[in-house]
Amino acid sequence: MRAISSRAAIPILAGIKIDLFEDELILTGSDTDISIEIKLPASEDLTINSTGSIILTARFFSEIIKKLPGKDFSFEVTTGNQVRIKSENSEFTINGYDAETYPRLPEITDESAFLIGGKVLREIINETQFAVATQESRLILSGVHFTFDPDAIKAVATDSHRLAERKINLENGPKVTTDLIIPGRNLQELSRIIGEADPDVQVCPGENQVLFKIGNISFYSRLLEGNYPDTDRLLPIESTTTVEFDLAELSSALDRASLLTHAGRNNVVDLELDTENQKVKLTGTSAEIGNVEEEVSFRALEGSQLKISFNPDYLRDALRASVTDAVVMKFTQPLRPFTVTPNKADIQFIQLITPVRTF
């Protein structure tokens, strides 16, 4: 169901394809952007009497199965592609469609396939995917740029206002460096399917699609074509002011500061770093409602005096994606992007946020 859109451009894609073979049942859903195929082997819970294929409207089929009274149900295709579904005293007859009209899934070989831990893949998606562009004006930025090396995986996402880059070491990555730009929305669905468990995920790159195999699930995603911008040059090499915050302290202070800014037209908060008096102040102002000012506690502060304005939602997302209980923020100038990194040097995770000009 995750792959089926209610606004499918091709009407048949509002359906779920059901293929019954002698030894397994295969369910397929697709919206051409992502396709998901699940294989269920014959077992005590699945008795196969005869084989065949049919397409059923996904929304109705799903709702019927959820609401059936019994634990088991029987499924039978009768004449004219009609499907009879029976469970205890309940019987539905619904119209199906010829399975031959369903688009074929892309054929992707596993020649250049490699394995990656599900937990690692899910982690790297959740730490970058939120920063992709949601506007379609620069389509390439609506995806996460993955680079898989034999010993590491690197993922970068940016919407040109913020950036998230995460690197994680791999033990047995692909033999050849593989570059993939995968749409952010598709990765969100993949992350949900991987779930909390840690199954190995097989990654099979194709020409314009990539296939992820997770147990009995095959997840196909289209790839974005084009050259992803060189984001490495955007990352500042040095800084003039550095502050280390407790993650929970900064998050709650930011929530309070942005309470009023969200209601106003300009969603901007000010951060003032007073290195001389060792004070950090967060201010949120709304012309319509009022203002809030708060001194924020910190672990360490050094460098030059600085006052900077930024969108609090960008920092909130960055803190939500953080993997340590404290973060280090580094600044250069009031109108230059600043970085948010973990307070542990061995974790390669950098986030970049562009400030807002307020004058």
Q: Each residue of 314-334: pLDDT tens digit? A: 999 999 999 999 999 999 999
Beta-sheet strands, E only, within 159-252 = 162-169, 178-183, 200-205, 209-214, 217-222, 241-246
Q: Which CATH number fits domain 236-353: 3.70.10.10, 3.40.120.10, 3.40.50.300, 1.20.1260.10?
A: 3.70.10.10
Q: Which of 4-18, 43-57, 197-211, 251-265 has the highest mean pLDDT?
A: 43-57
What was the pLDDT predicted at 265?
76
Q: What is the mean pLDDT of residues 115-127?
A: 93
More confident residue, 173 or 132: 132
Residues of the chain with CATH 3.70.10.10: 236-353
CATH number given to 114-232: 3.10.150.10
* All CATH 3.10.150.10 domain ranges in the chain, comma separated: 11-101, 114-232
Backbone angles phi, psi at 262, to 5 degrees: -65, -30
Residue 62 tokens read as 């799903």
Contact 44, 117 (CB under 8 A): no
Phi, psi at 119, each rounded to 5°: -65, -40
The Cα–Cα gap between 238 and 259 comes to 33
Would you state the pLDDT for residue 25? 98
pLDDT > 70? residue 125: yes
Whole-model pTM? 0.92
Tens digits of residue pLDDT in 42-65: 999 999 999 999 999 999 999 999
10, pLDDT greater than 90: no
Which range of 217-221, 234-238, 287-291 scores highest in mean pLDDT? It is 217-221
Cα separation, 157 vs 160, in Å, equals 9
49 CB contacts (<8 Å, ≥6 apart)? Answer: none
Fold of 11-101: DNA Polymerase III; Chain A, domain 2 (3.10.150)
Cβ density class 255-276: b for 16+ within 10 Å, e for less: eebbebbeebeebbbbbbbebe
Indicate the residue type of 239: S
Reference 109, options 193, 213, 222, 35; nearest CA is 213
Sheet holding 279-286, edge to edge: 290-295, 279-286, 269-274, 306-310
How confident is residue 286, by pLDDT bands cut at 50, 70 and 90? confident
The per-residue pLDDT of the chain, averaged, comes to 93
